[in-house]
């Protein structure tokens, strides 16, 4: 393991973006934060943000502006009033929610140049799991819809980075498709010296996601470790991790790839955070099937 990777792995969860991690970003090709998002976040974090400037920043990217309006006016948000302009969207969603929406829209674009079938399959599953996670957040009343959706989109964003960087990674991904993420992370660390959770957390932090979110991304595969619930992730972050696991399980049920052994590993953790799931998977699965059919 080289010194750069060691520094990144040893960095405290409260300060991942160390000089060593910055070098790691350069070495493995983590997409830099898009300029429009960096400028938007800088303005949004001012004491008195200028909404006209924020709208202008988004409108400079015509495709992004159109995507923002399409997303906010979709059934996903279920807003009674439709947004006609980006400034309307800012007023309806608020700065925090809009910034997360923009980050999510730009994330997939960062990997658009890759023609890999594995990349397409990853984003297809990721977008569906993010929708399920958002639905669960609202249904179970444990997190904000936009927060859960953004976490789920970015949770495994280290995987497309590794797909783009290492040609042989697709084989590892295929080999671990029916195993839990803990096993995949162990193989990644053995082969590369780091795992997709570290890469994803580094990307999320460099893209200005909230600290509790990228910290949860960093440790989301360690949910079955002793003392995890009271570990480094915040209580809200731990809930997001549980929502993501439940969403993934429901996605497997929808696809007909339910894994009872994997569910046994996850159920205790999910139950502790979200309440008993006995008798709830089937009705939740029926709701999610309808949602995905309409997507």
Contact present, 216 and 237 (Cβ < 8 Å)? yes
Structural domains counted in the chain: 1
Question: Does 134 map to a domain?
Answer: yes
**In CATH, what number is assigned to the domain containing residue 167?**
1.10.3210.10
For residue 87, give both structure tokens. Answer: 């400034």
Output the pLDDT for position 3: 43
Using CA atoms, how far apart are residues 65 and 256, in angstroms rounded to an integer? 37
Question: Does 78 map to a domain?
Answer: no
Question: Does 43 map to a domain?
Answer: no
Q: What is the pLDDT of residues 259-278, one digit of tens each?
A: 777 787 888 899 989 988 87
Question: Does 32 map to a domain?
Answer: no
Question: Does 174 map to a domain?
Answer: yes
Ranges of residues in the chain with a pLDDT under 70 are: 1-26, 178-180, 294-295
* pTM across the whole model: 0.87
- Note the residue count of the chain: 295
3-state secondary structure 125-184: HHHHHHHHHHHHHHHHCCCCHHHHHHHHHHHCCHHHHHHHHCCCHHHHHHHCCCCCHHHH
Question: Does 24 map to a domain?
Answer: no
Output the pLDDT for position 6: 41
Q: What is the pLDDT of residues 34-57, one digit of tens each?
A: 999 999 999 999 999 999 999 999
CA distances for 289 relative to 70, 135, 213, 253, angstroms: 22, 12, 27, 9
Output the pLDDT for position 19: 56
Using CA atoms, how far apart are residues 108 and 261, in angstroms rounded to an integer? 32
Question: Does 80 map to a domain?
Answer: no
Domain with 158 in it:
115-294
Question: Does 146 map to a domain?
Answer: yes
Output the pLDDT for position 5: 38
Q: How many beta carbons lie within 10 A of that of residue 212, not counting itself?
A: 16
For residue 20, give both structure tokens. Answer: 């060593």
Contact present, 36 and 107 (Cβ < 8 Å)? no
Output the pLDDT for position 10: 45
For residue 263, give both structure tokens. Answer: 């569910």
Output the pLDDT for position 9: 41
């Amino acid at each position: 393991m080289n010194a750069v990777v060691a520094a990144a792995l040893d960095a405290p969860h409260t300060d991942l973006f160390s000089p060593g991690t910055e070098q790691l970003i350069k070495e493995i090709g983590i997409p830099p934060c898009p300029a429009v998002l960096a400028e938007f976040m800088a303005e949004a974090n001012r004491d008195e943000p200028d909404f006209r400037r924020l709208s202008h920043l988004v409108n400079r990217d015509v495709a992004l502006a159109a995507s923002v309006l399409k997303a906010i006016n979709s059934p996903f948000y279920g807003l009674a009033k439709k947004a006609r302009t980006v400034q309307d969207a800012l007023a309806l969603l608020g700065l925090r929610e809009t910034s997360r929406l923009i980050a999510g829209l730009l994330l997939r674009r960062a990997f658009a140049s890759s023609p890999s079938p594995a990349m397409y399959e990853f984003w297809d599953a990721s977008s569906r799991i993010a929708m399920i996670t958002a639905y669960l957040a609202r249904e179970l009343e444990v997190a904000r819809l936009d927060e859960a959706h953004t976490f789920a989109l970015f949770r495994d964003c280290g995987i497309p980075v590794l797909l783009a960087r290492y040609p042989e990674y697709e084989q590892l991904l295929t080999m671990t498709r029916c195993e839990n993420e803990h096993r995949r992370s162990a193989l990644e660390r053995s082969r590369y010296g780091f795992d997709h959770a570290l890469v994803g957390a580094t990307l999320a932090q460099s893209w200005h996601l909230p600290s509790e979110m990228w910290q949860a991304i960093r440790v989301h595969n360690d949910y079955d470790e002793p003392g995890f619930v009271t570990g480094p992730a915040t209580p809200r972050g731990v809930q997001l991790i549980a929502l993501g696991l439940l969403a993934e399980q429901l996605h497997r049920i929808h696809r007909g790839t339910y894994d009872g052994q994997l569910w046994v590993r996850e159920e205790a953790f999910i139950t502790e955070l979200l309440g008993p799931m006995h008798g709830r998977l089937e009705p939740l699965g029926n709701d999610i099937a309808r949602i995905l059919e309409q997507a």
